[in-house]
A = this chain, B = another copy of it.
Amino acid sequence: MDNTHEDLDILRDKVRGVTIQIMRAVQERMELARKIGEVKSRLGIDIKDEKVENDIRMTVMSLAEEIGMSTEFALQLLNVLLAESEQVQVQKSEQRVVEKQTHLSIFSKARQLEASGKKIIHMEVGEPDYSAPARVGAALADSFEMKHYHYTDTQGIAKLRDAIATKEGGGISRDQVVVTPGGRFAVFSAITSLLRAGQEMIVIEPAWPAYKECADFVGARTKILRTTIENKWIPDTKQMERMINSSTKMIVLNYPNNPTGKVLDDKIMEKIVLLAKDHGLYLLSDEVYADYVFGEFTSIREYDYAKSIVIGSFSKRYAMTGFRVGYGIANKDIISKMARVQAVAITSVAEPMQRAALAALEVDPSENVQLMKTRLDYVCSKLKKMSLRYIEPEGAMYVYPELPNGDDLTIIERLLEKGVAIAPGTGFGDAYKRYVRISACQPEKTLEKGLDVIASVIREDL
């Protein structure tokens, strides 16, 4: 059959007609969503309904298969519709978003107070007070002398990647390492390169807020698996399994945990790895506190799962937060995806910072770890005297106690007035307004002062 430009015009007219038809149907869908929103609001039901969403997802998936549509595209389209429906269902009055308070926003407030002359005890931020190793200073000076301040390989200088591979052990090669500006960028590049808009990621709360922020950045959805102090912050793997659907692509782990200090035992870890394997999910394991472990800890790497990504950092281990050097470890395919994000966003990590990190790796951090353990024990002993409920940290640099009364933001406001900064529980999940995070990154004397103020404030009427 010969085709002509007229055929093209006829086809294009049809496309126009169908497009209008689609748009009208979509608008009808939005009207229905709005009505559902109203009914829900009258009945006092949550806007989001996982079960209903999953049902419609299954319907669309089987329809797509039936009519020969790409299921990936069908899900993408459905996710665009679901996101807009949700938007439409939310009442205008609810849209007034109060900016969420996190450990970083409190840190920022605390520094503003300091700038105005107030003395502040910083127990809000995870920034160790001790000094970076002396040889790091020497490495900095050397880097200038040797003119080591040029672009490097996107993934980082080979020597540093080799040294990280050696430190992490287990037959990793330099191709499986990417050096990033802080562990945060490793998280960012993993999540943004492996997830797409509408896809889902499971996060166990309480959690560092960065995971969700990175997912939001690409329009991916964060499904929250809440843990409780009653269950010693151990995630319910049965519940986790029920959260997995065809759009789920990643599970995020963070042990030793920020903010609870929890470390999961091998049995639970095995179950989670098995879930990930069964459903082909990425397993992002943020292990930046892996050095601060006071008992047993098994890295996700030991489970030998091809779709796992380990995040490490120099920030906590060597008190080098401001050097902004971290890394990701994964298979070559995942690393090259992460490196691609790095190439687009920053070219490479500052070379003097990489040289400093390389020098730091020669230093044994066990003194720092011992110091942190002693401080955490001290914080716990004080919290015990206040009769606060908490789980003894098995790692990391924090304690996450329950408040006897009042909510986190009220307490924090009062504490700031009295010169003590701690992090709000809700910074790690909406459900945790009865909690606060206390960071042990200060000398014991300072911690004592801060904890005495906390003790006096929580006894007040709130």
Contacts and interface: CB of A to CB of B under 8 A. Distances in A.
Interface of A: 3-5, 7-8, 11-12, 14-16, 18-30, 32-33, 35-36, 38-40, 42-43, 45, 52, 56, 59-60, 63-64, 67-70, 73-74, 76-78, 80-81, 84-85, 104, 107-108, 111, 125, 127, 131-132, 136-137, 140-141, 143-145, 147-153, 181-182, 184-185, 188, 192, 197, 210, 213-214, 217, 219, 320-325, 341, 343-353, 356
Contact of A321 (B4, B30, B151, B219): B151
A45 B59 CA distance: 38
A113 B29 CA distance: 59
A151 B29 contact: no
A148 to B, nearest CB: 7
A67 B323 contact: no
B28 A350 contact: no
A219 B217 CA distance: 12
A32 B11 contact: yes
B343 A345 contact: no
A87 to B, nearest CB: 8
Given A18-B29, A19-B78, A184-B345, 15 more contacts: A3-B39, A3-B42, A8-B36, A11-B32, A19-B56, A77-B80, A107-B151, A131-B147, A132-B147, A181-B324, A182-B347, A188-B344, A322-B352, A352-B352, A352-B353
11 contacts: A8-B36, A15-B56, A22-B81, A27-B69, A108-B153, A111-B153, A131-B147, A149-B323, A152-B322, A350-B350, A350-B353
B140 A352 contact: yes
Contact of A348 (B38, B85, B324): B324
A18 B32 contact: yes
A184 B347 contact: yes
A30 B69 contact: yes
A18 B349 CA distance: 50
Contacts of A45: 8
Nearest to A210: B344
Contacts of A348: 322, 324
Contacts of A77: 22-23, 26, 80
Nearest to A39: B3
A353 B140 CA distance: 11
Contacts of A344: 188, 210, 213-214, 217
B150 A20 contact: no
Contacts of A70: 84
Contacts of A323: 149, 350-352
A415 B16 CA distance: 51
A322 B149 contact: yes
A104 B39 contact: no
Given A321-B150, A322-B352, A344-B210, A67 B23 contact: yes
Query: 9 nearest interchain CB pairs?
Result: A149-B322, A322-B351, A137-B144, A150-B322, A324-B350, A3-B39, A188-B345, A18-B29, A213-B344
Contact of A26 (B22, B104, B111, B345): B22
Nearest to A43: B3
A444 to B, nearest CB: 20
Contacts of A35: 11
